[in-house]
Amino acid sequence: MFDTNLVVVGNVLAAPEWRRFEEPGSVVANFRIASTARRFDRESNQWVDGNSLRVRVTAWRRLAEGVISSISVGDPVIVYGRLHTRDWKDDNGNNRISYEIEASSIGHDLARGQSAFTRNTSATPPGVGFVDDPGEEPFAALPGSLGDSEPERDGVPERDGVPELEAPAPVEDPSGSPSDEEIALEVERLTADQPAPARRTRRPRKEPVAA
Q: Is residue 52 part of a domain?
A: yes
Whether the pLDDT of residue 185 is over 90: the answer is: no
Q: Is residue 41 part of a domain?
A: yes
Whether the pLDDT of residue 84 is over 60: the answer is: yes
Note the pLDDT of residue 150. 43
| pTM for this model (two decimals) | 0.51
CA distance 105 to 81: 7
Whether the pLDDT of residue 191 is over 80: the answer is: no
Q: Is residue 155 part of a domain?
A: no
Task: pLDDT band for 32, please (50, 70, 90 cuts).
Answer: very high
Query: How many folded domains does the chain comprise?
Result: 1
Q: Is residue 11 part of a domain?
A: yes
| Average pLDDT score, the chain | 72
CATH number for the domain harbouring residue 88: 2.40.50.140
Whether the pLDDT of residue 145 is over 50: the answer is: no
Residue 21's domain comprises 4-112
Note the pLDDT of residue 79. 92
CA distance 192 to 189: 5
Cβ-Cβ contacts under 8 Å for 173 (sequence gap 6 or more): none
Task: pLDDT band for 196, please (50, 70, 90 cuts).
Answer: low
Q: Is residue 14 part of a domain?
A: yes
Lowest mean pLDDT among 18-32, 87-101, 136-150, 172-186: 136-150
Other beta carbons within 10 Å of 102: 14
| Cα-based torsion angle of the residue sequence 106, 108, 111, 115 in order, rounded to the nearest 10 degrees | -140
- Between residues 116 and 11, which one has the greater pLDDT? 11
Note the pLDDT of residue 204. 64
Q: Is residue 120 part of a domain?
A: no
Q: Which of 8-12, 89-93, 171-175 shows the highest mean pLDDT?
A: 8-12
Whether the pLDDT of residue 67 is over 60: the answer is: yes
pLDDT (mean) for 114-126: 65
